[in-house]
Amino acid sequence: MILKGFRDFLAYKLARCLAKRSSGEAKRGNGAGHTGAYLLAALCVYLAANFQAVAAAQGFAKEDLPFLHGVNLASGSFGARRVPRRYGYDYIYAGPASVDYYQSKGFNLFRVAFLWESIQPVLNGPLSESELKQLDNLVNYATGNGLFIALDVHNYAKYAGGKLGTEVPIEALGDLWGRLAEHYNSNPRVLFDIMNEPNNMPTQIVKEMTQGAVNAIRAAGAQNVIVVEGNQWSGAWHWLSSGSDILVELQDPENNIVFSPHQYLDKDGSGVQPYCASDNIGLERIQSVTQWARASRVRLLLGEFGAGANSPCSEAVTSMLDFMHKNADVWAGWAWWAGGPWWGSYFSSIEPQGGADRPQLQWLTPFLFTR
C-alpha cells in the first residue's frame, strides 16, 4: 500500500504538472516569463522519471517487509502417498516449541507445507475444517508473535496424482486459492505460495494456472504478498532455460508478487545428496536469475536450499547468502530446507536434536539479524 499510494501521488503530481506546463506555454505567447516555464519543465521531467521507476517496482517494497530469514517447516506434507492420511500419525504441523526455537535464533519466516488434498478433500469443494484448524494453530501462533508464514501448496502442480492442465483443470487451483485467501485475507503476515515446484509441463500452463490463482486471491479481497514459483522444480539455475522468465508477464492489480526459485547445491541440483558440487556452486547457480530479476525489476525469495554439514557446503552456503544480502535490491529473503518435527537424522535438517543445535545453523547465524 505504501508503493501504491506513492505511485498514485506521483501520477497525480505529474498530471497537474503537465496541465500547468501546457497552461504556461499558452500564457507564454502572451508575454509570460521563461524562467518559471523552464523550472516547471524540469519538475515534469523529474516526476515522469520517478513515476516510471516506482510504477515498475514490484514485490515486498509495497508492504515494506523486512528481509526474510526463513526455514521450511515441511512435515505437513509428509505421508503424501498414504490414503487417507492421519494427522499426528502420517503428518504433523510444527508447534509452539519449534516456532519459539527458530524465533530465538533470529528467523522471521516459516514456509509451511501442506497438501491440497488434505485442505480441500473434494476438488472445488469447501475447505476441510479440521485441517484448517490444525494449520491455523501454527499460522496464528507464529504471526501473533510477529513472524511471517508462507503457505505452501506442496503438490508439484498435481491434485491426487492428476496433473494440472491435463487431468485437472487449471481453474481448480484458483478455486483453492480463492477460498484460502478469503480465510487469511485479514492477516498481512501470511504470504501465499501458489504451488510448489511445477515440473514436466509447458511453462505456459504454469503461467495460466498461476494467473488464475492471482485473480482469485485478489477477487477475494486479499492484498497479501503472492509467491510465484517457476517450471522445472523452480530451479534457479535453469529459470531462463525452463521458460520461467515469461512469468514476469503475470498481472496483479496489487503489484505485490515475489518470484521464488529454489536451489540445491549437490551435483545434479536435486537436493538428495548431502555433498555440494563445489565451494562456490551456490553463487554460480543464482547468478542468471539475479540478473534477470534486476533487469525485470522484480524481487526474489529463495524458497528452498539446503546441504549436509560438511565442507565445501559451508563455503557454498555462506558465499551464496552473502551475495543475496549484498544484492537485497533483488533478493527479498531465503528459507532453508528444512526444520520442524519428525525429520530425525535427515542430513539437511536444522531442527535441534537431543537439545543440541545442528551444525548448519552456525552458517546461517551471521545472516539472521541482518537486513
Peptide bond between residue 121 and the one before it cis (omega within 30 degrees of 0):
no
Residue 304 annotated among the catalytic residues of the structure: yes
Asked whether the beta carbons of 370 and 67 are under 8 A apart, the reply is yes
Question: How far from the centroid of its chain's Cα atoms is residue 354's Cα?
Answer: 32
Residue 71 contacts by C-beta under 8 Å, 6 or more apart in sequence?
102, 107, 109, 110, 111, 335, 336, 338, 339, 340, 350
Q: Per DSSP, what are the bridge partners of residue 158? A: 163
- What's the farthest any 2 CA atoms get from each other in the chain? 86
Of the candidates 131, 197, 229, 351, the residue annotated as catalytic is: 197
Of the candidates 117, 229, 254, 304, the residue annotated as catalytic is: 304
Asked whether the beta carbons of 2 and 62 are under 8 A apart, the reply is yes
**CA 261 → CA 204, 298, 316, distances in Å?**
17, 12, 17
Question: How far from the centroid of its chain's Cα atoms is residue 3's Cα?
Answer: 18
- Read off the C-alpha cell for 214: 492471482
**Which amino acid appears at position 83 of this protein?**
V
Residue 284 annotated among the catalytic residues of the structure: no
Which positions are annotated as active-site residues? 197, 304
